[in-house]
Each structure stands twice: as C-alpha cells, then as structure tokens.
C-alpha cells in the first residue's frame, strides 16, 4: 500500500500495488518518489515478481522484474541497491524475497531515525534552516533524511524555523515538505526557488539541509534540480550546507558526479501547471530532474552511522569498513 503523492496536499489517497508492473508504474509516474521510498517500493516490487512467478521460473521472474524496475528511474541509488539485494535473496525462495524486502523497509526507518539523531547535533536552538525538495517521511518509509533532524530538534523542544523552497518544476517543497512540516506544527515559510539568495543575503538562514539521491565516492552529490545553485549561494554567504543520506544512497562505484546518471523528465512538467499550459506550443525545453552539488560545497554528510566531514574521498570509505 502506498500514498499516491501526486494528489497531495489536496487528497490523501492510499493505493494498492498488486503486481511488479504496478510497482514499476508507481515509481516511473511518481506516485511514490524520494530515494528511500523508491528503494522500498522496488524491494516489494521484486517480492511481487517472485510471488507471482510461474512454477520453476523464479529466477527468470526476478531477473526480468529487476531489469524492468531498474529502468523505472535512473538516479536514486536506493532503487538498484534494493533490486540487487532482493534478487540475491529471492533466488533462494519467494519467501526470502519478502523477508529481504521487509528488511530493506525496516532498515530505511532505522537509518532515518539515526540520521535524525546525528543531524540534531548540528542544529542549535533558534536555528533557521533551509531545505529543498522533499526528504521527509513521504520520501522514505518513515521520518526521512533532511527532515528527520528537524523533527528530532522540534521534539526535543528546540525552537526552530524552516524555509521551504518550492522546488519547481514538480513543487515537492510546496506540496509535500510544506504539508509535512505544517502538519507537525513546525514554524515554516514557503519561498520560490529564486528567493533563496534574498533570504540568505539578509542573514536569515543558519544552515541548509537537503536529502539526496546518490552520493559518489568523492562526495559529489546528486539531488533535486536547484540544489547545486543553493550550495553555491550557501558557500558565498558562508552558510553550512549539509546533506543527509543513508549508506544505501552512497555509490562507492561512482568516482565522481560525472558517473551519476541524471534523469530528464517530460517537457510537460515545465510547459504546463496542473494541466494548464503556461508556455507557448512548440517551445524547446530542457528538464533535468537532478543536479550534482560538488563535494567542495558540502560541509558534511549526515549518515545513519556518523557525520562524515571532508575529505570525503577518504572519510566516506570508513562507512563501509568492517569494524
Ligand atoms: O524526483 P524525486 O521527487 O523522486 O526526487 C527525489 C527527492 O525527493 C529529492 O531529490 C530529495 O531531496 C532526496 S530523495 C529523499
């Protein structure tokens, strides 16, 4: 069962996913979105592929389901992490596929909780935090990454304030993050993406925290389009810029941001707004869904294991070392 995020904040609709094709469509068409949730959905999609395999065709059904899920969206690393893990477990039995999918979902929640605790250490009472896109409980199985420290700080009684970037073209900030934070009773103000420089220049931002979709081994980080510009502004105004990410989002096989595939989405996301055409027919468009923030603009990466500081090339490796 998923929440159809396309309908938020106006309608809260729970939708069943009954086949691997349902899971593929839900990811591709963004009923679900956000790195952790894409991974969890892909994990359950693999379980459905295994559970509905014809007798004797478990391995083929898993391989086919995995191939097709992997093509549903290219950037969030959690998707590939989940299909690979469930493929390996599911080859033994369909029950193992379900156990593995549940483990991925539970780990996602545990990771988000730990990120909230580490990230809370970076937030001082009175902090005014800026965030981009949505990396809250809607983007994960629960709590989220960028918003988890904000929830934790709020719960622990710190007075905090959040600037939410609208996040064009799909408005995940306005539709989803504003909805989440308002529902939690957090002091929040919505701005359009092009207003970030103004609030920073007036000294009204103490820290930026965003989630992310994939981190390369040198710390370059892909996140929602607009994040790179925000990082440049933050550097200019000397504001700490934090990324929050669980280890399944870190891709040690990518040596830099150059190796991260960036999704381009349909022109209609830009040329129309809720079904109404806002740009002339025939206009050419360029609609990358993500950009890469260079490692040098990132103050620290908050993971479920610890807060990682530069040099990322060296320090990210320690997350994967056996203790
Ligand atoms: O295109 P989306 O909505 O799936 O993009 C993912 C995101 O929500 C963001 O990039 C987010 O900041 C990181 S993923 C939790």
Mutate to test the pocket of ligand 1, among 33, 77, 245 (most ligand atoms within 8 A of CB): 33
Q: How far apart are CA 2 and CA 232, in angstroms?
A: 35
Tokens 């669980």 belong to residue: 246
Distance in Å, CA 56 to ligand 1 centroid: 38
Tell whether the model's pLDDT for residue 90 goes beyond 80: no
Torsion over CA: 117, 140, 192, 261 (sign): positive
Residue 141, classified by CB atoms within 10 Å of its CB into exposed (0-12), middle (13-18) or buried (19+), is: buried
- Average pLDDT on 141-147 reads 97
Distance in Å, CA 66 to ligand 1 centroid: 21
By annotation, the residues acting in catalysis are 213
Buried b (16+ CB within 10 A) or exposed e, 256-267: ebeebebeebee
Distance in Å, CA 78 to ligand 1 centroid: 11
Q: Which atom of ligand 1 is nearest to the CA of 170?
A: 3
- Average pLDDT on 5-23 reads 97
**Nearest protein CA to atom 9 of ligand 1, as residue:** 224
Tell whether the model's pLDDT for residue 289 goes beyond 80: yes
Q: Which atom of ligand 1 is nearest to the CA of 212?
A: 13
Q: Which atom of ligand 1 is nearest to the CA of 30?
A: 4
Mutate to test the pocket of ligand 1, among 223, 226, 287, 298 (most ligand atoms within 8 A of CB): 223
> Average pLDDT of the chain?
97
For ligand 1, residues with CB inside 6 Å are 33-35, 133-135, 139, 145, 172, 210-213, 223-224, 289
- φ/ψ region of 78 (left if φ > 0, alpha if ψ in -120 to 50, else beta) reads alpha
Mark out the alpha helices in the chain (DSSP H runs).
Answer: 20-28, 35-51, 58-70, 77-90, 94-120, 147-155, 172, 178-183, 196-201, 227-236, 268-271, 312-315
| pLDDT at residue number 256 | 98
Q: How far apart are CA 58 and CA 43, in angstroms?
A: 15
| pLDDT at residue number 263 | 98
Contact 162, 193 (CB under 8 A): no
* Band of pLDDT at residue 85, cut at 50, 70 and 90: very high
Q: Which atom of ligand 1 is nearest to the CA of 132?
A: 12
Can you name the residues that pair with 131 across neighbouring β-strands? 164
* Band of pLDDT at residue 48, cut at 50, 70 and 90: very high
- Average pLDDT on 108-136 reads 98
Tell whether the model's pLDDT for residue 323 goes beyond 80: no
* Band of pLDDT at residue 259, cut at 50, 70 and 90: very high
Mutate to test the pocket of ligand 1, among 3, 34, 168, 248 (most ligand atoms within 8 A of CB): 34
Distance in Å, CA 313 to ligand 1 centroid: 24
């Amino acid at each position: 069962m998923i929440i159809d995020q396309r309908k938020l904040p106006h309608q809260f609709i729970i939708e069943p996913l009954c086949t691997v094709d349902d899971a593929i469509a839900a990811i591709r068409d963004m009923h679900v979105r956000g790195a952790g949730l894409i991974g969890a959905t892909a994990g359950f999609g693999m379980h459905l592929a295994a559970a509905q395999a014809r007798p004797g065709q478990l391995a083929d059904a898993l391989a086919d389901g995995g191939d097709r899920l992997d093509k549903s969206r290219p950037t969030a690393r959690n998707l590939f992490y989940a299909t690979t893990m469930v493929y390996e477990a599911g080859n033994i039995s369909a029950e193992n596929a379900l156990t593995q999918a549940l483990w991925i979902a539970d780990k996602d929640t545990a990771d988000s909780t730990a990120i909230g605790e580490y990230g809370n250490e970076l937030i001082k009472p009175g902090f005014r935090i800026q965030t981009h896109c949505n990396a809250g409980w809607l983007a994960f199985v629960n709590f989220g990454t960028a918003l988890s420290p904000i929830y934790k700080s709020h719960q622990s009684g710190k007075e905090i304030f959040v600037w939410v970037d609208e996040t064009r073209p799909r408005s995940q900030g306005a539709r989803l993050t504003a909805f989440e934070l308002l529902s939690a009773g957090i002091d929040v103000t919505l701005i359009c993406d092009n207003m970030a420089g103004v609030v920073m220049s007036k000294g009204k931002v103490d820290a930026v925290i965003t989630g992310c979709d994939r981190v390369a081994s040198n710390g370059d980080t892909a996140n929602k389009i607009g994040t790179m510009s925000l990082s440049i502004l933050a550097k200019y105004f000397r504001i700490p810029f934090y990324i929050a990410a669980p280890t399944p989002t870190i891709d040690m096989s990518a040596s830099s941001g150059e190796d991260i595939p960036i999704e381009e989405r349909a022109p209609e996301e830009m040329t129309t707004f809720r079904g109404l055409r806002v740009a002339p027919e025939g206009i050419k468009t360029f609609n990358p869904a993500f950009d890469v923030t260079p490692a040098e603009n990132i103050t620290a990466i908050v993971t479920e294991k610890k807060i990682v500081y530069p040099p990322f090339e060296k320090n990210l490796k320690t997350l994967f070392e056996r203790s």
